[in-house]
Amino acid sequence: MSKINWDEYKEYKYANENLKGLDNFAILLEFLRSFYNKTSPFEVYDMLQTDAIGQMMLEKREIRKPENLEDYLNKRLLR
């Protein structure tokens, strides 16, 4: 299981102009998709669950299982 490299996340966040206006969780999801090539909500959820900050972000959004993350992502795509 990969660990989230928060230094790379910060560089990604500040280097990409197209991320302006997104919250930190949305940026993190984009980072995981781009940097780690994680496209499955189940893989993303597992990665977030193994990280303390990732756990806090999931808890804040009341995402308690991979299916909840999948629903969150689907709702975001419909906007």
Q: Report pLDDT digits (tens) over 8-43.
A: 999 999 999 888 889 999 999 999 999 999 989 999
The confidence score (pLDDT) of residue 78 equals 62
Q: Which domain holds residue 69?
A: 6-78
Indicate if the pLDDT at residue 46 is higher than 60: yes
Indicate if the pLDDT at residue 79 is higher than 60: no
Residue recorded with tokens 């990665």:
47
The confidence score (pLDDT) of residue 2 equals 80
Number of domains in the chain: 1
Distance CA 47, CA 26 (A): 15
1 belongs to a structural domain: no
**pLDDT > 90 in the chain, percent:** 80
